[in-house]
């Protein structure tokens, strides 16, 4: 079987009005999420900002102040948010999918996401993931059409390390039977709220260690039509299980290869860790899947600030069977 492979750098579409990277540099980024402008640490922004320090201070509604040791030794120690003007603890943004390229018809992809200021600089969404949401939605919609034409149930999509659920909602918007798994109960509750805000229901919620779950599904002979993987570099399961990506990623991918359907299926892997390249992602996926797939693409997800500086944030590998 001939293998099709491409590499690319992908960005959120410029039409997305609820998010904007205003500037980046000196280890920070200045971003607008809806009506608020946030200043946060960003280790990959090693260049000089385009705006002056007084301009950053004037624009930011709130800034994250890291605690001692923040981001060291594979950890993200908590910090605090400093408000420069009155802001709410929680607010929302909307993402509507790209129109059909040929017909220009509006997309059925609609995400309504609640944001919040967490103790670890995160706000509940990673904007650079928008191209992955689009891929998940379009692939799931394609599988939904195939299943419907053949009288089959809705395609089953498993989202591991699912965080606040944007990818789960993208799959649900396309008609999937979605299982959403994360090891943190509060995050799963947040994801449920996002589902309800988006006008959906019926997602299956699982609070468990991802590797344990994947191994058990493999033993049971379970199969999924789509699997989404966005693992952290370090973490803990609900029962204190330690997660270190370098040690566990290959084994996890081998389990995923066992539970992914043998045809008309897809897998998407997203990696944030420094030092991982798209070429690395391709190689580890190829070896874990025994090269049993029909198409693979890989590349980087990045943000463009308003001055044209490209901020790469993660790498992805997308696979189809």
Q: Domain of 199: which CATH number?
A: 3.40.50.150
The model's pTM: 0.93
pLDDT tens sequence across 127-145: 999 999 999 999 999 999 9
The rounded distance, in Å, linking the Cα atoms of 66 and 213 is 34
For residue 309, the enclosing domain spans 4-320
Count of domains forming the chain:
1
pLDDT tens sequence across 45-67: 999 999 999 999 999 999 999 98
pLDDT tens sequence across 240-287: 777 788 899 999 999 999 999 999 999 999 998 767 899 999 999 999
DSSP 154-191: PPEEEEES-TT-HHHHHHHHTT-EEEEEES-HHHHHHH
Residue 241 region by backbone torsions, left for phi larger than 0, else alpha for psi between -120 and 50, else beta: beta
């Amino acid at each position: 079987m001939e293998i099709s492979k491409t590499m690319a750098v992908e960005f959120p579409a410029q039409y997305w009005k609820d998010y904007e990277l205003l500037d980046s540099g000196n280890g920070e980024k200045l971003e607008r999420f809806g009506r608020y402008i946030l200043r946060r640490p960003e280790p990959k922004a090693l260049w000089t900002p385009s705006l002056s320090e007084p301009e950053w201070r004037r624009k930011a509604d709130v800034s994250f102040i890291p605690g001692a040791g923040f981001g060291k030794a594979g950890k993200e120690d908590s910090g605090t948010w400093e408000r420069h003007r009155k802001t709410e603890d929680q607010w929302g943004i909307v993402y509507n999918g790209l129109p059909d390229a040929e017909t220009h018809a509006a997309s059925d992809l609609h995400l309504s996401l609640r944001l919040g200021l967490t103790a670890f600089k995160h706000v509940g969404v990673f904007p650079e993931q928008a191209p992955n949401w689009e891929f998940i939605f379009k692939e799931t919609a394609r599988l939904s059409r195939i299943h419907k034409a053949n009288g089959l149930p809705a395609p089953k999509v498993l989202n591991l390390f699912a965080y606040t659920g944007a990818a789960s909602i993208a799959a649900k918007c396309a008609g999937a039977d979605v299982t959403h798994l994360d090891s943190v109960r509060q995050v799963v509750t947040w994801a449920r709220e996002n589902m309800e805000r988006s006008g959906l229901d019926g997602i299956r919620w699982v609070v468990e260690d991802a590797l344990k779950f994947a191994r058990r599904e493999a033993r049971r002979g379970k199969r999924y039509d789509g699997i989404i993987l966005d693992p952290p570099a370090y973490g803990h399961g609900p029962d204190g299980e330690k997660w270190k990506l370098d040690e566990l990623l290959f084994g996890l991918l081998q389990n995923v290869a066992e539970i992914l359907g043998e045809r008309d299926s897809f897998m998407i892997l997203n990696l944030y860790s420094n030092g991982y390249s798209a070429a690395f992602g391709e190689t580890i996926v190829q070896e874990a899947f025994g090269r049993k797939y029909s198409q693979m693409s890989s590349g980087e997800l990045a943000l463009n600030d308003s001055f044209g500086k490209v901020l790469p944030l993660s790498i992805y590998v997308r696979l189809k069977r």
